[in-house]
């Protein structure tokens, strides 16, 4: 998973593909539970970019997107949020949310 910060965040989320961003912090136990799920799905969804942003190190970005609970996952396409969820979800739920976002992206292109 690509590590995001204020230098590269906006370039990454404005890509012409789905970008799944995990907003997390080192002290957050649910974040540590979600990370391996996202890493596994990253191998499965080859045309989706997976990235993470440490909210303690980048509070201005977290505030801009209204991140108050972590983990929060925002899914971007061309800079726009197309889906999101909050909390450590089971793999099946995370997969379904990514598939929903991909469907929105595909429909936008038609």
Catalytic residue numbers, as ranges: 28, 31
H or E element that contains 76: strand 72-77
**Residue 70 φ/ψ, nearest 5 degrees:** -130, 150
> C-alpha angle 92/76/21, rounded to 5°?
60
């Amino acid at each position: 998973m690509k590590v995001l910060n204020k230098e590269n965040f906006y370039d990454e989320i404005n890509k012409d593909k789905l970008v799944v961003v995990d907003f997390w912090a080192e002290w957050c136990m649910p974040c540590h539970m979600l990370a391996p799920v996202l890493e596994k799905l990253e191998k499965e969804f080859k045309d989706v970019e997976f990235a993470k942003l440490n909210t303690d190190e980048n509070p201005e970005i977290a505030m801009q997107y209204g991140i108050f609970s972590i983990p929060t996952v925002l899914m971007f396409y061309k800079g726009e949020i197309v889906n999101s969820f909050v909390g450590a979800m089971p793999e099946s739920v995370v997969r379904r949310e990514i598939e929903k976002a991909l469907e929105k992206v595909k429909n936008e292109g038609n």
